[in-house]
């Protein structure tokens, strides 16, 4: 049979002349984007930050969070220049499961600490935030009063990347905020485990917000998280929940006795309060300040910061080595092949790793 395409009447492959399409690029938007992404010089950022210019601070934080190598180069220089002006703050980690009342509490805690003057930055570490487009933690609408306070700076969690990467960016943001004159830093995180360890490694005081439950609240909380806490506060101690909250506090106090004494020499305290009704807020902060005085007097404050600086040096080395390894073009090419050989049982995991590392160490630096 004659093929239809050979028939002259066949039009299947002809293209009708269409109408001219408008450009897909909106020239106005392009202009806007270019403006938004402008990179200033290192000195512009540093001068702005040291003057306490919030816009410049925000822009610098955006650079810190950027994954682009050219942004990272500028960001690292800015951080380095800000470092001599940093460190002069108290850094408080605040953790609790979703619904524990972190945003409500941070709003009132923030106003309380600002009553005594100074400036407060609220940062967050939430490695899961990519899923919800960065809105879980640090979202301005969650801290209504604080977000409109002229002395506060609220920044959501850096969204992309591994927990280590997200945490490093938050730690670098602390440095920039301190250089901009923020003398109180809150770092918020959800109480789900690993992110607590990251927050603990960058704060002076770790505050754990808990709720009174049915009496078995201790079961759900990981021992490691309790051990990190310098203070445990039971929220929602209001209305007919007061007695339950007091009972929960007793349970936590008893449980804390079973842990080895913390290195700081401080005995972690357990208090009850109500973030929503503003009850017991002063007592919570009296505890935090008492701790700071205590550890400043016994030298643990500086010791902990030094240990943290050391920890972050090694973390940065690990992160950079890992990135350099996986971004190496030769490695990227070999990786799946070696993985398949291991899966097929033709190569042991150790030999595969050894061959990959060998290739990496003998590859030319970029
Ligand atoms: P987050 O998820 O930890 O940030 O918790 P939120 O601050 O969003 O609070 C979760 C819910 O608990 C909200 O409905 C709050 O109104 C409520 N809540 C927070 N603090 C208190 C409190 O002190 N007492 C009472 N009764 N409810 C509170």
CATH number at residue 68: 1.20.5
48 and 160 housed in the same domain: no
Please tell me the residue having the least CA distance from ligand 1 atom 7: 101
341 and 289 housed in the same domain: no
Please say which residue of 28, 63, 84 terminates a domain. Answer: 84
Q: Is the CB of 210 under 6 A from ligand 1?
A: no
Radius of gyration of the chain (CA): 27
C-alpha–C-alpha distance, residues 285 and 181, integer Å: 21
Closest C-alpha among 273, 115, 285, 298 to residue 205: 285
92 and 145 housed in the same domain: yes
164 and 269 housed in the same domain: yes
Residue 113 in domain: yes
Tens digit of each residue's pLDDT, the chain (366 residues): 555 555 666 665 555 566 676 666 665 655 555 455 567 899 999 999 999 999 999 999 999 988 888 898 999 999 999 999 999 999 999 998 888 899 999 999 999 999 999 999 999 887 665 444 444 454 556 788 998 999 999 988 777 667 777 888 999 999 999 999 999 999 998 766 677 788 888 999 999 999 887 555 565 667 778 888 999 999 999 999 999 999 999 989 998 888 888 899 999 999 999 999 999 999 999 999 999 999 999 999 999 999 999 998 898 888 889 888 998 999 999 999 999 999 999 999 999 999 999 999 998 765
Grouping H, G, I as helix, E, B as strand and the rest as coil, residue 251 is: helix
Residue 148 tokens read as: 């409109």
Residue given tokens 């108290």 in the structure block: 90
Kindly report the length of the chain: 366
80 and 90 housed in the same domain: no
How many distinct structural domains can be found in the chain? 3
Please say which residue of 84, 108, 143 terminates a domain. Answer: 84
What is the torsional sign of CA 257, 262, 264, 270? negative
| Residues 296/329, Cβ–Cβ less than 8 Å | no
Residue given tokens 């938007």 in the structure block: 29
Residue 30 in domain: no
Q: Is the CB of 100 under 6 A from ligand 1?
A: yes
44 and 193 housed in the same domain: no
Residue 232 in domain: yes
Please tell me the residue having the least CA distance from ligand 1 atom 15: 101
Residue 6 in domain: no
240 and 352 housed in the same domain: no
Ligand 1 centre to CA of 196 (Å) is 20
Segments forming the whole domain that contains residue 52: 38-84
Residue 234 in domain: yes
pTM for the full model?
0.81
Residue of 138, 276, 280 best suited for mutating to test ligand 1, as the one with most atoms within 8 Å of CB: 276
């Amino acid at each position: 049979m004659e093929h239809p395409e050979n028939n002259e009447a066949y039009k299947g492959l002809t293209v009708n002349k269409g109408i001219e399409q408008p450009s897909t690029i909106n020239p106005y938007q392009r202009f806007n984007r270019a403006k938004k992404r402008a990179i200033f010089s290192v000195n512009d950022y540093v001068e702005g930050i040291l003057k306490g210019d919030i816009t410049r601070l925000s822009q610098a934080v955006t650079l810190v969070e950027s994954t682009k190598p050219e942004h990272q180069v500028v960001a690292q220089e800015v951080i380095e220049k800000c470092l001599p002006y940093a460190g002069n703050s108290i850094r408080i980690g605040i953790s609790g499961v979703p619904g524990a009342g972190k945003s409500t509490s941070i709003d009132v805690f923030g106003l309380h600490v600002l009553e005594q003057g100074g400036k407060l930055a609220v940062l967050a570490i939430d490695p899961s935030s990519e899923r919800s487009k960065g809105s879980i933690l640090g979202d301005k609408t969650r801290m209504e009063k604080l977000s409109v306070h002229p002395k506060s700076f609220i920044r959501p969690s850096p969204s992309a990347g591994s927990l280590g990467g997200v945490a490093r960016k938050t730690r670098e943001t602390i440095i920039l905020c301190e250089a901009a004159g923020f003398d109180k830093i809150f770092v918020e995180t959800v109480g789900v485990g690993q992110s607590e360890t990251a927050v603990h490694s960058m704060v002076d005081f770790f505050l754990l917000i808990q709720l009174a439950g049915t009496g078995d609240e201790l079961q759900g909380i990981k021992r490691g998280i309790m051990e990190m806490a310098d203070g445990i506060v039971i929220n929602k101690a209001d209305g007919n929940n007061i007695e339950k909250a007091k009972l929960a506090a007793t349970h936590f106090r008893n449980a804390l006795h079973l842990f080895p004494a913390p290195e700081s020499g401080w005995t972690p305290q357990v208090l009850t309060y109500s973030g929503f009704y503003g009850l017991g807020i002063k007592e919570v902060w009296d505890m935090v300040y008492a701790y700071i005085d205590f550890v400043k007097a016994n030298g643990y404050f500086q010791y902990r910061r030094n240990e943290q600086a050391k920890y972050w040096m090694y973390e940065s080395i690990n992160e950079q080595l890992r990135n350099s390894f996986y971004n190496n073009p030769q490695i990227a090419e070999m990786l799946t092949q070696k993985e398949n050989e291991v899966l097929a049982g033709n190569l042991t995991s150790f030999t595969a790793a050894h061959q990959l590392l060998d290739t990496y160490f003998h590859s030319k630096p970029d």
